[in-house]
């Protein structure tokens, strides 16, 4: 189960994507500047509100980020352990535990963004925020990656199934990686060539029509909160 946009009518769904991106950046700044028990307690409250107003569930978000958790849990152990007496330094372990926890909070806030923002709005936000050709390239490219990622995942799955059916699992690791790599890459490149032809046939332009983005009164509290968090981070 991965985190993705889910249509809804929550407060966060009605916000401008740029306001939400700004809020995430401000939140991360604040979390890194105030990695103290009191600071993180306050930010936990902010996180709970962000999840609440976007309709995201903390449990689903943690499940989506489960691969990050072992390292976050191991960090404090590595920080606390020392070779030689006193063997364990609890103070350093505690500091790293706080640092791990702030990462969890930042991940949860980004889960709220993912749940409440459709891809085309994110794309439009990128193109509005990054000026000129660079933004146009990023916007178009991000759209293409979204389009082709599931297709290529399917390609790789079929290649591996076919290989497994022919006892490919008996080969050495390098041979298996090479086989998946060659077949996967060949298909990706063939798709890229066909895609390029299709783009040219449809007059692929640097200035396509994007969904209209405009900041409204709804965004004011989020922008105010972002400014407050960023200011708190600097103080």
Site for another protein in 202-231 (CB under 8 A): 203-207, 209-212
Pick the closer one to another protein by CB: 167 or 203. Answer: 203
Window 3-62: residues binding another protein (CB under 8 A): 3-5, 21, 24-25, 28, 32, 35
The binder of another protein chosen from 79, 225, 229, 230 (CB under 8 A): 79
Tell me if 126 sits within 8 A of 22, measured CB to CB.
Answer: no
What is the rounded distance in angstroms from the CA atom of residue 185 to the CA atom of residue 194? 14
Q: Is residue 2 within the footprint of another protein (CB under 8 A)? A: yes
Q: Which is it for the CA torsion 182, 188, 190, 196, positive or negative?
A: negative
Q: Sort 174 into a burial class: Cβ within 10 Å, 0-12 / 13-18 / 19+.
A: exposed
Q: Which two tokens stand for residue 10?
A: 């929550």
Chain residues 148-177 in contact with another protein, contact rule CB under 8 A:
148-149, 151-153, 155-156, 160, 173-174, 176-177
Q: List binders of another protein among 109-148 (CB under 8 A).
A: 109-111, 113-114, 117, 119, 122-123, 125-126, 137-138, 140-142, 144-146, 148
Q: Are 23 and 53 in contact (CB under 8 A)?
A: no
Strand partners, 81: 88
CB 34 to another protein: min, Å: 14
Give, to the nearest 10 degrees, the angle between helix 119-129 and helix 17-33. 80
Instruction: Choose which of 41, 192, 224, 231 interacts with another protein (CB under 8 A).
Output: 192
Minimal distance in Å, beta carbon 37 to another protein? 14
Q: How far is the CB of 46 from another protein (least distance, A)?
A: 14
């Amino acid at each position: 189960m991965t985190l993705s946009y889910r249509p809804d009518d929550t407060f966060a769904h009605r916000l401008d994507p740029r306001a939400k991106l700004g809020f995430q950046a401000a939140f991360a700044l604040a979390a890194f500047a105030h990695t103290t028990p009191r600071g993180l307690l306050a930010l936990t409250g902010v996180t709970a509100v962000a999840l609440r107003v976007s309709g995201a569930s903390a449990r689903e978000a943690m499940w989506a980020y489960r691969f990050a958790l072992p390292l976050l849990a191991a960090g404090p152990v590595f920080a606390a352990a020392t070779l030689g007496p006193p063997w364990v330094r609890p103070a350093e372990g505690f500091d790293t535990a706080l640092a791990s926890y702030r990462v969890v909070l930042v991940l949860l806030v980004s889960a709220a963004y993912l749940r409440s923002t459709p891809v085309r709005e994110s794309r439009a936000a990128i193109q509005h925020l990054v000026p000129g050709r660079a933004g146009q390239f990023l916007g178009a490219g991000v759209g293409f990656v979204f389009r082709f990622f599931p297709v290529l995942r399917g390609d790789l799955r079929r290649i591996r199934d076919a290989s497994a059916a022919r006892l490919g699992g008996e080969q050495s690791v390098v041979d298996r990686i090479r086989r998946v790599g060659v077949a996967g890459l060949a298909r990706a490149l063939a798709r890229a060539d066909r895609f390029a032809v299709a783009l040219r046939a449809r007059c692929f332009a640097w200035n396509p029509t994007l969904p209209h983005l405009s900041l409204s009164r709804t965004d004011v509290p989020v922008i105010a909160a972002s400014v407050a968090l960023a200011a708190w981070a600097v103080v």
